[in-house]
Chain A
């Protein structure tokens, strides 16, 4: 049955988790691409070590089997091998550490001034998004709540516990600043395709800067246990072309300012 599902029945929404998924989701930001590249780099060393250690282990088990070799040789010392097996394992972590740190610091760095700021505010148990770059007073801002769609209301093709009523609309190929904070308990804001997993800590504003490279809909889930409905606070980011973003925002914004 599972195999059947694997072969035919999985309709994979590209940027959401799929059943029995083992690898990462497709990268949508340079950050995620970097993470995946690092993963592959490290896996090279990992496989190398795995093969080497397995070989030693199997050889030892084979050659020193009690039936084959009832009296083990009394080797207690070997300077050469001891130097080698100390130095090599200490060089390998270095090769892993260099790209790892490079990626870590490049992820933190904000190189370019962001073009828009979006505030992702976690609540028990929904999310509020504020677009306040276009305000002219403290009161009016483009703010909306994003609730998960209950299981009964799902339409065909929508993912259970992943779909929301109001998606975060962001422009593609644009530097975004996302300010993550909760209004009550710790939450988090995580979108695997964009390589983002940022805890939302009460009283603190965490910044993540991403640049989504392609249009699409990206799904994520809360990654910080935040109460009973923790499973029902998904994140859906919709990346649209820049010009569409402009019209979307102005369409949503202008009725609001008209009221105010």
Chain B
């Protein structure tokens, strides 16, 4: 129990880090919506996800603490499954208190609490690629990311979502090959 508590504090600080990313990404979406022809459904569905997360703060927190128990620097690989289940049980007990605290603290905290639930998130369905063939979807997301980086500079937060999308959609082998081609200047796409 004491160990689990220690884990929690550690991971909260780690989650601050995550929160930064998430906020930036959220900010980035707004200007992007105007530029890119994102369908409004995407935004709507995101809200739905957020709502869901709010509905089940306990579950979200449980997942969070489970992750956190895994992410502690102390010998993660060797951690037995028993330990994990134990931690999970502990966290479910402690979860409601934790979440209520957070909601009291600030709105930002709340957003940060949702990040673990958002974890089950991937590139959304894209109306430009409604068919079974998603080859272009992957390629387009890759190109979009690199055009975004070219326009806004390396590490621009609003480009991160494109990176997430293309990593979700493209096989690692393809991305490797394209990266090589970009370095050699032989990439066939419009960069």
Chain A interface residues toward B at CB < 8 A: 108-110, 112-117, 119, 121, 130, 132-135, 138, 141, 143, 171, 174, 177, 179, 181, 183, 198, 203-208, 242-243, 245-247, 250-251, 254-255, 258
| B66/A250 in contact, CB under 8 A | yes
Query: Which of chain A's residues have a CB closer than 8 A to the CB of B175?
Result: 138
Q: From A117, A143, A181, A258, give the contact of B122 (CB < 8 A).
A: A117
Interface 1/0s, chain B 111-137, versus A by CB < 8 A?
Answer: 000001001111111000011111101
Q: Is the interface of A mostly helix, strand, loop or mixed?
A: mixed
Query: What size tier do the contact residues of chain B reach?
Result: 35 or more
Known: A133-B164, A138-B176, A255-B76. A115 touches B45 (CB 8 A): no
Known: A206-B133, A207-B134, A247-B66. A110 touches B76 (CB 8 A): no
Q: Is the interface of B mostly helix, strand, loop or mixed?
A: helix
| A250/B133 in contact, CB under 8 A | no
Known: A203-B135, A207-B132, A251-B84. A174 touches B120 (CB 8 A): yes
Known: A135-B167, A143-B172. A113 touches B42 (CB 8 A): yes
CB of B97 closer than 8 Å to a CB of A = no
Roughly how many angstroms separate A204 CA and B131 CA in the complex, as a whole number? 12
Roughly how many angstroms separate A108 CA and B168 CA in the complex, as a whole number? 20
CB of B171 closer than 8 Å to a CB of A = yes
| A117/B172 in contact, CB under 8 A | no
The 7 residue pairs across chains A and B that have the minimum distance between CB atoms: A113-B124, A117-B122, A207-B134, A117-B168, A250-B67, A110-B125, A205-B134
